[in-house]
Chains A and B, each alone.
Chain A
């Protein structure tokens, strides 16, 4: 039976939850509002909340100055490309670790995670030089490969925890059904782990979409994604807050929509296995 919660208590929790939510969301809201202000109003003191001169001119200028669509395409190619590639590697890897562990599995997992603790800038120079020699600078392929490698530890960890929840017996049953390892993964494991796989994909697409260190350092124009698009508005002539906000709003819009549409899936995936 559900625990009875008094109305006052429920109301308090609701109010607190809304307040926390508002605090978290406020910077995004402020960015969107700023994108509709003139440059002058953007840094006026005291700040104007809603009563300012609403304008679309920033969006027009941003659109004029840089090719938004080209950046969007690069972002899509890089984020989805890198996540697809890492899934191809991570699903078999996590399958092996979850269902045929050896005494080194745990150590391998921890070691993989430890690579994420290393600051990326530590390997910037070697990677830059390798990419220069291989001709991968400012290419989508180069970024896809790099982000795939950078994401792999997290992707494998996430999939590993989801796979651990699946009873071994089901996979054994498929083996007794005469099914080899590849089809076991494709037809039995993957469909059962679908909520987990979907949320891993979503989360990592979002992470790759927002990844700024490598995308800024390894691209100039051709393969530049939306992160570079935003960065181009912090220019030597000074910061143009309103235009920067307009560019940022445009950059986060697609991923915000994706996240909004898939929030049910995301939450389900992140709590997968918690409730049987």
Chain B
């Protein structure tokens, strides 16, 4: 079991309000990702749930019990840190089993559980090494092993992959997803990388300046962002925003169109523009197009197009996929 509920959780550092008040419901077994630009308070919120920071107000309810005043050690959660934070003086085996040993579990039970976890994480060969003798990826596995061996109510991940190289990151991302599915333990995962958020989450919480902008499944956020911030944050390359005269026919202050929802052609209907730059990735082509009355439009096309810089083109946004926003930046439905 591990349902987590935040009620008006606030955090103030000195005179700075980092989190003005967050309400959130996390059901048992879900994989929730906190995502947002750096400094948005996502790590702070995670540390408040963990108990590594004291809340300035509000309640944190885990399985029906308010734990806001309990120390981290008594909340029954486990955490994987960005810096791994392994115990440098212990072997991988002792790192993983430390919590269990300290909880007074019998020696053979600890050995059995550590062996089982290291089997799952492919760590069996490295159990007698100290953290200093392990690679980044192996250290991260030990940190994950340490978190899962205690069978906590929930896992907390604080940007766990940001110290790994790109290839390893993709691999570990898959492993974390697979692991969470098989354990079905509630997971809160903090990242600034929206690809991680989109691929891992059952539910994404988009944070901005300590406030929850939107909560929803990855595809919900992609298909119907609640406001300009979410619309701009989710999706890569980011959504194009057009205001003024071009938006007026749609009955909105601003409209947004994702690069993949714009058809580019030499002739036909749509906005006129000139290609200022193009990027060819093989599978995709990104076109950066100067369009009068906009700050430039990005379009994404599958495969290779026979277009080059300086060409005049027509842009036709997919009418069914235009996002409309009012003057306050809220989505119009």
Contacts and interface: CB of A to CB of B under 8 A. Distances in A.
A178 B81 contact: no
A175 B156 CA distance: 13
B78 interface: yes
A167 B83 CA distance: 9
Interface stretch (A54-62, A185-193, A231-239): A185-193
Interface residues of A, number: 18
A173 B50 CA distance: 11
Contacts of A173: 79, 81, 85-87, 143, 146
Given A183-B102, A187-B102, A175 B73 contact: yes
B87 A174 contact: yes
Given A169-B81, A169-B83, A170-B87, A177 B98 contact: yes
Contacts of A170: 85-88
B166 to A, nearest CB: 24
B43 to A, nearest CB: 12
Given A169-B81, A173-B79, A173-B81, A179 B87 contact: no
B51 interface: yes
A170 B86 CA distance: 6
Contacts of A175: 51-52, 71-73
A179 B81 contact: no
A176 interface: yes
Interface SS of A by simple majority: helix
Interface residue range, chain B: 20 to 34
Contact of A178 (B50, B87, B103): B103
Contact of A176 (B78, B87, B89): B78
B150 interface: yes
B253 interface: no
A173 B76 CA distance: 13
Nearest to A179: B102
Contacts of B86: 170, 173
B329 interface: no
A177 B81 contact: no
Contacts of A180: 71, 73
A12 B37 CA distance: 58
B69 to A, nearest CB: 15
A178 B99 contact: yes
B77 interface: yes
A172 B87 contact: no
Contacts of B78: 176-177
A188 B101 CA distance: 13
B81 A172 contact: yes
A115 B52 CA distance: 35
Interface string B51-77: 110000000000000000001111011
B88 A192 contact: yes
A172 B83 contact: no
A177 B150 contact: yes
A177 B51 contact: no
Interface string A131-166: 000000000000000000000000000000000000
Contacts of B143: 173
Nearest to A173: B85
Nearest to B76: A178
A175 B147 CA distance: 12
Most buried by B among A169, A173, A183, A191: A173
Interface in B130-150: 143, 146-147, 150
Contact of B102 (A167, A172, A177): A177
A172 B73 contact: no
Contact of B89 (A169, A183, A192): A192
Nearest to A170: B85
B89 A191 contact: yes
B50 to A, nearest CB: 6
A172 B72 CA distance: 8
A177 B99 contact: yes
Contacts of B51: 175
Contacts of B156: 176
Contacts of B76: 178
Contact of A188 (B71, B87, B150): B87
A177 B103 CA distance: 9
A192 B103 contact: no
A18 B143 CA distance: 49
Nearest to B77: A176
A178 B83 contact: no
Most buried by B among A176, A179, A191: A176
Contacts of A167: 83, 85
A174 B73 CA distance: 8
16 contacts: A170-B85, A170-B88, A172-B79, A173-B79, A173-B143, A174-B98, A175-B52, A176-B72, A176-B73, A177-B73, A177-B102, A178-B74, A179-B102, A180-B73, A187-B98, A192-B87
Given A172-B72, A180-B71, A183-B102, 9 more contacts: A169-B83, A173-B143, A174-B98, A175-B71, A176-B147, A178-B73, A178-B99, A179-B73, A179-B98
Top 9 A-B pairs ranked by shortest CB distance?
A177-B99, A169-B85, A173-B85, A175-B72, A176-B79, A191-B89, A178-B73, A169-B83, A170-B85
